């Protein structure tokens, strides 16, 4: 019997060392965000597998990326920083 599909597993640890000490991370290294995908540092947004609560699925990561882009736009409009 041959397999019908293969799921490649690349690990559980997020690649977030570059933001350690800059934004809040949970004990596993995932970025903690509010519902608008904003972490503890203003003007920064996080989306996808590096974020606490993400589903670790490509479709969800793509959707969160699109949502983050909308949240950035909303932030810039709200703060008057959008030119």
d(CA 68, CA 48): 10
Report whether CATH 3.60.15.10 matches the domain 17-79: no
Alpha-helical segments (H) within 1-83: 58-79
Q: What is the pLDDT of residues 58-67, one digit of tens each?
A: 899 999 999 9
pTM of the model: 0.79
Q: CB under 8 Å to 48, separation ≥6 — which residues?
A: 54, 60, 61, 64, 65
Domain boundaries, the chain: 17-79
User: What band does 57 get if pLDDT is binned at 50, 70 and 90?
Assistant: confident
d(CA 64, CA 59): 9
Q: What is the pLDDT of residues 30-53, one digit of tens each?
A: 999 999 999 999 999 999 999 999
């Amino acid at each position: 019997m041959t397999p019908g599909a293969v799921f490649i597993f690349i690990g559980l640890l997020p690649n977030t060392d570059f933001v350690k000490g800059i934004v809040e991370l949970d004990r596993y290294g995932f970025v903690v965000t509010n519902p608008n995908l904003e972490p503890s540092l203003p003007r920064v947004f996080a989306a996808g597998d590096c974020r606490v609560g993400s589903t670790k699925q490509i479709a969800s990561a793509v959707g969160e990326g699109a949502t983050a882009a909308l949240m950035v736009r909303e932030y810039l409009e709200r703060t008057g920083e959008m030119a």
